[in-house]
Chain A
Amino acid sequence: MNKSPRRRIMAAVGLMAGLVFLAGCAKDAPQDTWQPAGPNAEQIDNLQQPVFLVAGIVGIIVFLAVAFVVIRYRDRGQSIPEQTHGKPALEVTLTVIPVLILIGVAIPTAGTIFDLAKTDDTEMVINVTGQQWWWEYDYPSTGANAESYGVVDPIVTSGQLVIPENTKVLLRVTSRDVIHSYWIPKLNGKKDGVPGRVHLLRLEGSKPGIYAGQCTEFCGLSHAYMRMETVVLNRADFDAWVANQLKPYESPAEGTLAAEGESLFIQQCSRCHQVNGLTNADGAPIIAAPEQYMVSGAAPNLTHLMTRNTFAGAAWDLLTPECRDDVWNANTEEFGARYLAGVSAECLNQKDLREWLRNAPEKKPMYADPTKLQATDGKYRGMPALGLTEDQIDALVAYLLERK
C-alpha cells in the first residue's frame, strides 16, 4: 500500500509539470500567453520563462526530497529516533538559498515593470473604452495620429482594434460603466478599464495578423461574451484601412433592398447606433443618442461594420468559418489584402447575424428586457429584441452588407 501511492504521486506531479511546460508549445492557440507576437509580450515572456524553470526545478527538488524521505524512513521497525529539535546552521542555509533565488528574480522583475510602463516613446494614441459588453476604439485626429498616420478625422470603431505593424501604440483604457480589462495575450499583459480613470497600456505587434483577447475583469451578465481582437497591418495596408474608414458615406441605390434597409435602420437602429454621414430625407445629419437609451451611454458605431469581421462584442464572426480561416491563416504577405477585403455577401455569416437581429438578448445574455428596467431608469444594458420580421431582417442585412 505504501509503495505504489508514492509512485502515483510522482507520476502525477511529473506529468503535470511536463504538461504545463508543453502548454507553451501549443499550436493554434489564439490566446496563448507563451507565444508573444510583439516586444511587450516578449519582454514579459523573457522574464517569465526562467521563473517557470526555476520554480519547476525547486518543485522537483522538493518532490524528490519528499519521495526520498517517505521511502527511506518509513517504519521498518527501527527504534524511535533521537528527539532532535533542529539544526540552526542547516535551517539558516535553507532560508538563505530561497532568499538568494528570489533576489535573482526580483531584480529583472523590477526592471521589466518600469520598462513596460514607459510612455515617452509613443508613436500613436488610441482611446479604448469598455462598456457592457463590448469595446469601443476611438482614434483621435491629433498629434502624430494625424501627422504621421493620416487620421485627419476621428475614427470610431469597435470589436477589432486595427494598428500598424512595429508601431508603439499607447492605449488610453477606460470604461463607461463597470470595470473591464483589456487583454491581448500575444501583445501585452492586461490592463483594467476603470470608470473615471484612464490607464495606459502599450501595444505593439511585430507581425501582421489577428490577435485574440477577452475581457478579463468580471463585468456582469455577459462577461464571457466580451471579446476583442487586435489586427496588426503593415504600414501600406494600415494607410489603406485609415483611408477607407474616412471615406464619405454612400446611400444605397434607390429601389434596392439595401435602400429599404436604410430607412428601416433610420427608424429602428439609428437612435443608438451611429452611421457617420447618414441623413434624414431633408438632409439633416442623423446623430445617434445612445445616452438616452443605454446605461453605458454608448452603442457600437456601425459606419464600417463590414470592414471588421466580428460583431456583438467580437463574440461572433461576421465571416463564415471557411472565409474566416482564409483571413486568420493567411501568410504575412497576403494577410493585409484579405483582411481589407472585408465581408462580402458570399462570406457573410448569415446565421449568427440574423439570430442577433431577430432576438439579441436570447443570443447574448443582457439586461435588455423592457419590463425589467426600473433599476436603470428605463435604460438598457445591451441590445433589446426589436421584433423585426424576416423581411425586415433581409433588408437590414442587405443594408449592413454595404457598410464597408
Chain B
Amino acid sequence: MAIIERPSAEIAVAGAAPSGVKPSEALGVFKRPAASTSWKDWLVTVDHKKLGIMYGVAAFFFFIVGGVEALLIRLQLAGPEGKILSADQYNQMFTMHATTMVFLFVMPMVSAFANYFVPLQIGARDVAFPRINAFGFWCWLFGGIFLNTSWFLGGAADGGWFMYAPNSSTLFSPSHGIDFWVLGLQITGIASLTGAINLIVTVLNMRAPGMKLMRMPIFTWMTLVVQFLLLFAMPVITVALFLLSFQRSFDATFFDVAAGADPLLWQHLCWIFGHPEVYILILPSFGIVSEIIPVFSKKPLFGYPIVAMSGAAIGFVGWGVWAHHMFASGLGPVSVAVFSMATMAIAVPTGVKIVNWIMTMWGGKLSFTVPMLFAIGLVVQFTIGGLSGVTHSVAPSDTQQTDTYYIVAHFHYVLFGGAIFGLFAGFYYWWPKIFRKQLSESLGKWNFWLMVIGMNMTFGPMHILGLQGQPRRMQVWTEARAGEGFFNIGFWNRIASLGSFILAVGVLLFIINIIYTHKSKKVAIAPLDPWDARSLEWMTANPPVEHNFDSIPTVNNLDEFFHRKYAEDPNTHEVRQVATAEEVLAELNAHPDEHIHMPSRSYWPILVSLSLPIICYGLIYNRLLMGVGAAFLLLTMFGWAMEPSTAPDDDFDPPAPGEGGGHTKELAPLG
C-alpha cells in the first residue's frame, strides 16, 4: 500500500492531475511496482477505473467475436440446406455464440461499468480489495482467451451453452472442446465470485458520509443485487462444472445413466445457476437506464424505493423459477404448476420497473440524446420480451414453445433489446466521463436506429418461426418442410438473416463513432457535466483523478449532485439553478483531504491468474504441465502474500474524534 502524500495547496487547482505523487518506498524483497505512464502500468494497475476500462475494451472485443459467430449462424440459415458451416461447426458456433455473449461480453461489460462507477457513485476512492479486483480481471481475461483457443486446438465446445448431460460426455463429444469450455468457465467464474465479494464489501462499507442505502444511485443498487446473485449462483455452476470436469477427465459417473445417474441432475444445477444468471445480465442495464431516464427527464426516478426494492424482489424470486426451463423435462404436474406460478409472480416486479420508467418521463422535460434513445429502446423492447416471457410462463403453452425460435426471440428481446441496449445507453452516457470527449450525437442516432431496425428485423420474425414450429439449434432447414404461403419459415429466416446484417452495421457505426470522436480535430473536449447529471460520479473531473475525489463529499440527498446545482422553492416547486457543475466541483475541491490513502500497484494479480490457464492446459494435454502450473500458482500466491504494505501503521488507525469533520480518513481500501 502506498500513500499519496502531497500538500493540499497543490491539489487545490480543480481537475489538475495529481502532482508530487511519489510511490513510497517498498519494504522487504518483494518490491511493488512504481507508477508510470507506460503501457506496463496497465498490467500492474489496481485502479478500479483502469480495470473498468480494460474490462470494457476486452469485453467489447469478445462482443465482436460473438457477433461474428452470430452472423455465421444467420448466414447458414439464410437459405435452405445451408452449406456455410458443417453440422459440427454449426454446433460449435451456437455454443460459443451464447457462451461468449453471456460470459465474455455482457457479464464483463457489466463489471466494466460496476468497476468504474460504483466507487464513484458512492463517493469512494477505490474498491475494498483493489488487488483482488485486478486478479478478477486477469482471471476473466485469461479464462476467456483460454476458452477461445479451443477453436485452434481441435474445435470448440459443441454441446450448447446449457451443455446438457449426457450429450456433454466424452462418448458423445470426444473432442476437447467441452474440456476447454468447462475449464475456461471455471476460471472466469473466479472473477465473478471475487468481484461479487469485492463490490458487496465496497458498497456496504465504503459509502461517503450521509449516503444511506436509500440514497444510493439506482445503478449501484442494481449492481449490489447482482453481486449477491453472483455470490450465490456461481458456486452452483462451479460445482456442476467440477462434476462434468471430473466425468470427462477422470471417468467419474455423475451423469452416466448406465451407472445409475439421472441426467436431470445437470439440468437442475445448470438452471439454478442459469436463471439467476438472466437477472445478473439484465438488472445492471435496468440500473443504467434508471440513471439515464431521470437525467434526461429532469426529474428524479419515480418511485425510487419501489424500483430498488423490486430489483431486490426480482433477485429473491429469481431463485424460485429455474425449473421453468424444464417444463418439457418430465417434472410432474405439481412441480410444473408451482414453477409456472412463480414465473408469473416475477413478472410483477419487472412490470413495476417499466411503469416507473414511464412515470419518470411523465411530466418531465425530455431531451432525446443518444443515451436517452437507447434507454427508451430498452423500455419498449424489454416490454416485448417480458410479455412473450409471460406467454411461456403458462407451462402448457411453453411445452409448445420451448426449444423453438419463439424462445430465441424472447430472450434476444430481453438480452439484446434489453441488456445490450442498456449497455449502449451506458456507453454513450458515460463516455465523456471516462474519455473526456462526447461521442457524436448524429452518428449515435444512426447507430441507434440501425440497431433498432436490425434487432427487430432479426428477432421479431423469430416469434413467427417459433410459433410455426421451427426448433432451435437446427443446422439446416429444408424447403420441403418449410410450409407454404406468407408464413413459410423460409421467408422469415431470410428476413432474420438480413436483419442481423443491419444490426451488425449498427454496431459497426458505434466503432466508427469512437474512431471519429477521438481522431477528428473537430470534436472538442466535452464540458464537465455535459448531460446536467444527478449523481456523484459527475462531481469529479473528466476523467476522474486517480483518487477520484480530492475531498469526500457529504451526501444529504438522493441525486446529490443535482441538489448542489439546483434549488427547489418549497412553496412554488420552482426549480432553479444555483450553481454550475464547475462551481460545485471547485467548492468540493477547495478543502482537499490531507491524507489520501491509495493502494499501490502490484505484480501479483496478473501472475497468479496466469497460472490458472497453464494448469488447465495441463489437465487437457499433459499432467506434467499441470504440475508446473500448480507450482507457479503456489509461488505467485506466496509472492502475493509476502508483498509489502508500504503504508505506515498509523494509516490504519481509526480517525481521531473530530478530526477534519470525521471523514478525512475514509475507510481505506485494503491494497
Contact = CB atoms under 8 A, between A and B. Distances in A.
Contacts of B488: 28-29
A105 B344 contact: yes
Contacts of A218: 91, 159-160, 164, 167, 403, 472-473
Interface in A185-209: 185, 188-192, 194-197, 199
B174 to A, nearest CB: 3
Contact of B483 (A28, A74, A94): A28
B348 interface: yes
Contacts, number: 341
A144 interface: no
Nearest to B94: A218
Given A73-B361, A109-B340, A62 B167 contact: no
Interface string A374-385: 111000010000
Given A63-B380, A65-B358, A212-B481, A177 B463 contact: no
A13 to B, nearest CB: 7
Contacts of B173: 220
A360 B484 CA distance: 29
Interface string A355-369: 000000000010000
A85 B488 CA distance: 50
Nearest to B299: A81
Interface in A98-123: 98-99, 102, 105-106, 109-110, 112-114, 116-117
Interface residues of A, number: 107
- Counting chain A CB atoms within 10 Å of each CB, the highest count among B373, B391, B399, B467 belongs to B399
A317 B397 CA distance: 30
A214 B472 CA distance: 10
B330 A86 contact: no
Interface stretch (B139-147, B257-265, B641-649): B257-265
Contact of A224 (B344, B383, B475): B475
Interface string A46-87: 011001100110110011011001100111001111111110
Given A199-B330, A295-B171, A70 B366 contact: yes
B404 interface: yes
B467 A23 contact: yes
Contacts of A91: 303, 306, 352, 355-356
A219 interface: yes
B253 to A, nearest CB: 12
A347 interface: no
A178 B167 contact: yes
Nearest to A4: B449
Given A51-B390, A73-B363, A190-B402, A82 B475 contact: no
A242 to B, nearest CB: 28
Contact of B87 (A1, A99, A114, A224): A224
A294 B354 CA distance: 54
Given A109-B340, A179-B164, A224-B475, A20 B467 contact: yes
Interface stretch (B11-19, B106-114, B567-575): B567-575
Nearest to B398: A189
Contacts of A90: 359
Interface stretch (B191-199, B277-285, B331-339, B622-630): B331-339
A217 B87 CA distance: 16
B88 A102 contact: no
Contact of B333 (A117, A220, A295, A372): A117
Contacts of B453: 8, 12
Contacts of B395: 109, 113
Contacts of B498: none
B403 A95 contact: no
Given A44-B396, A44-B397, A221 B170 contact: no
Given A65-B358, A195-B166, A199-B330, A47 B396 contact: yes
Given A9-B380, A75-B365, A190 B328 contact: yes
Contacts of A191: 328, 330, 399
A190 B399 contact: yes
A169 interface: no
A27 B484 contact: yes
A5 interface: yes
A227 B359 CA distance: 49
Contact of B397 (A47, A82, A84, A86): A47
A230 to B, nearest CB: 13
Contact of A113 (B166, B333, B355): B333
B396 A116 contact: yes
Given A55-B390, A179-B164, A181-B328, 9 more contacts: A32-B468, A47-B394, A56-B387, A70-B361, A106-B344, A113-B336, A194-B263, A218-B472, A222-B87
16 contacts: A12-B453, A26-B486, A47-B397, A48-B391, A59-B387, A62-B358, A62-B383, A65-B358, A80-B298, A95-B306, A99-B348, A177-B172, A189-B400, A190-B402, A195-B263, A375-B171
Interface of A: 1-2, 5, 8-9, 12-13, 16, 19-20, 22-24, 26-34, 41, 43-44, 47-48, 51-52, 55-56, 58-59, 62-63, 65-66, 69-70, 73-75, 78-86, 90-91, 94-95, 98-99, 102, 105-106, 109-110, 112-114, 116-117, 177-179, 181, 183, 185, 188-192, 194-197, 199, 212-225, 227, 295, 317, 321, 365, 372, 374-376, 381
Q: Which 7 interchain pairs have the tightest Cβ spacing? A: A189-B399, A31-B469, A375-B174, A26-B487, A199-B330, A365-B87, A86-B303
